[in-house]
Amino acid sequence: MPSKTTPKTTAAKSPARKAVAKASTPAGFQAPPDIGRVDADTLAALMRADHGDPFAVLGMHHTGTALVARALLPMAERVELLDVLDRCLCELTRQDGSDLFTGAIPRRRNPFAYRLRVQWRAHDGQPAHTTELEDPYRFPALITEADIYLLAEGTHHRPYEWLGAHLNTVDGVAGTRFAVWAPSARRVSVVGNFNQWDGRRHMMRLRHECGVWEVFVPQVGEGDLYKFEMLGADGAVHSKADPFAFRAEIRPQTASVVQRLLPGVAISEQRQRANALDAPISVYEVHLGSWKRKDDGQGTGGTEWLTYRELAEQLVPYVRDMGFTHIELLPIHEHPFDGSWGYQPTGLYAPTSRFGTPWDFRAFVDAAHEAGLGVILDWVPAHFPTDAFGLANFDGTHLYEHADPREGFHQDWNTLIYNFGRAEVRNYLVGNALYWIERFGIDGLRVDAVASMLYRDYSRKHGEWIPNKDGGRENLEAIEFLRRVNHIVGTQRPEAMTVAEESTAFPMVTRPPSPDLQSGGLGFHFKWNMGWMNDTLSYFACDPLYRKYHHDQIRFSLMYAFSENFLLPLSHDEVVHGKGSLLQKMPGDEWQKFANLRAYYGFMWGHPGKKLLFMGCEFGQNTEWNADASLPWHLLERPLHSGVQRLVRDLNAVLRHYPALHQRDVSADGFAWINHSDAEHSVLVFERRAANGQRVVVISSLTPVVHRGWRIGVPTAGVWRELINTDLSVYGGSGVGNGLMHSEPIAWHGQEQSITVTLPPLATLMLVCD
């Protein structure tokens, strides 16, 4: 049946028009009998869509003194071959009652300048009608030899520029160039709403050098739906979404959507400075589907998602006004299951259509940049779901995943693990990392589940995993992949950062790899400090009466704080699956819970390392995160919740303004203990240092007791004042605080100068000397 995008539909021609049209064929030309016929096996293979090289049969071909045209057009009644002036060169005849039409014309100067006029039978409620269309089999292969070589080698940094669906104009004809890597498939077709999803209409050409199939389909445009239909090596027909699709249908539909490749984004020195190791970095982690929903008039936030553009208007200014420096998005790759939060993607190159188009998402990122914010994406290269329309068993073989489930199946998530030892798979993932940075302006990638990638025995019992070539448990191929992706991102797009969610003691995660990528570090810019998170949450959940017995928990992180470039995460993982909200984890009555949470935030912002806070935590959400509903914004009507929000805003302001709190986050010379041994009173005192000599002293007093006249050593003489006091009444505290504090030449805590302070209950102070 004809394409819905076919431009010309005409009524059946009169006999007089036919006679005039046929005048373009030279008089006296007589095609040899059966010149265009194919043998029975070939015809049967074409009709079954089981022909491995359709370009060798279909289209225009030289045969002796004639040109033979063949077109496979199911549901066609009559087919004419036209020249560029729409004059009929000949009528093609049906072979043996099949859908293959053949004919011959004399040799001509430009044999591939022709079109087809097709009269279609009535079908599926559509009346009989006639259309004129371009023959996809008259166009040459379009992927260049240089790109074929790089794709075959697995070193093409931007495979997305050639694979997938790309709008193109060839010989003045507009259409879409399709290409897919499926080296073991016996036949591949592109099917869609432009060919009635019929795999016989647009069978593709195999580029044997690299296992890529390609075809240019005229008159297919932006917004058309498509999939790749494959006769796999296993003999089964597989209907697959495009791994490189730039856009996809919203679930439960699974087709890919033709989408123009977005123009590139220039390298930004400003964004590079904002992502630097010495920059203030405070990240607001967001799940776009549940940050806020459209108002339903009931005060509950509604059930309809905000679009990317609405989020640009609402989320971006909120994050800016809260003083955060970056927004981190839970995965926005297309994914079929809402409950995965995006961590089981089937469309790694497609921003989810739940919230709009790729252009809409680009507008969101642009709005963030205009507001001075960076955008970090959660990126999932560790595994993918088993959905039949996705990468699993892609061409009838285990193409993207390992064949052996001891290597290729993730038992925790029931997902498949990428085969990082395959060059083309690594290329697919490395290209994806560059794609988000280069085409959307993404400032960083937070790489999910790195620990599961590093070890072959991750979450496996004895006998459930296969050792590496050296007999060890390390996944050497995944390690080499991580080094490669970090190296390429770092050299190709130096403005972007990569962040590892890694929970083990694997060494040198944030140290550079060797030039040959075979040794050295993994090359991440930052690593989540999961040890800090676990220890501090455990400590603050403890009743203050017993904290003196757990003093090592609160100070242990400083034993290794500079072994990596750390980011301190209080992420979505800590407020789901029955863990409760951060506020619910705190001990005591309501006032003490809020005081503990405020003191915790003060300690976190004073501690070396970049910061990350999940949405809702900034105002003390009192229930566990629900991904199916809006955050409980009504809580801000209560002073204790709005007080926490104001504290977080002030902590971010202080972090940005005082280099001592961020400039040397990853360097030991930016921190020094003043007193870490007072377990009896659960008091900690330390200083943060900047390169210009600036000092900020941080004091955490973590029992519900006021201590007056408390002497602490300070690093410089002068007048000290509070930058932050988490017990201020404007934050919901008791209002215990200090005025100006003049230092005295009394040696204390190893310092030559000291001051006396009042320590509020369950509070953190930050002091600066003017």
Active site residues: 448, 501
Q: Is 479 helix (H, G, I), strand (E, B) or coil?
A: helix
> Residue 654 is inside which H or E element, if any?
helix 639-657
CA distance 731 to 754: 28
256: amino acid identity, one letter: S
Residues near 376 by beta carbon (within 8 Å), at least 6 away in sequence: 283, 326, 327, 328, 329, 442, 443, 444, 445, 446, 497, 499
3-state percent breakdown (helix, strand, coil) of the chain, nearest 5: 25, 25, 45
Convert 245-276 into a string of H (helix), E (strand) and C (coil): CCCECCCCCCCEECCCCCCCCCCCHHHHHHCC
Residues near 440 by beta carbon (within 8 Å), at least 6 away in sequence: 262, 265, 351, 358, 361, 362, 365
CA distance 705 to 761: 5
Question: Within 13 Å, how many C-alpha atoms sit on residue 768's CB side?
Answer: 16
User: DSSP assignment of 97-161, as one string?
Assistant: TSSEEEEEEE--S-TT--EEEEEEPPBTTBPPEEEEE--GGGSPP-S-HHHHHHHHHT--S-GGG
CA distance 178 to 167: 9
- The structure tokens 């195999």 sit at 206
134: amino acid identity, one letter: E
768: amino acid identity, one letter: V
Are 239 and 227 within 8 A, CB to CB? yes
- The structure tokens 């990392």 sit at 433
Q: Which of 88, 178, 174, 191 is nearest to 130 (CA)?
A: 88
Are 741 and 755 within 8 A, CB to CB? yes
Whether residue 252 is preceded by a cis peptide bond, meaning omega within 30 degrees of 0, is: yes
CA distance 414 to 412: 6
Residues near 649 by beta carbon (within 8 Å), at least 6 away in sequence: 321, 322, 323
Are 30 and 152 within 8 A, CB to CB? no
Q: Which of 27, 50, 90, 616 is nearest to 322 (CA)?
A: 616
CA distance 740 to 679: 27
324: amino acid identity, one letter: F
Question: Within 13 Å, how many C-alpha atoms sit on residue 718's CB side?
Answer: 11
Q: Is the dihedral of CA 542, 543, 547, 549 positive or negative?
A: negative
Are 316 and 363 within 8 A, CB to CB? no
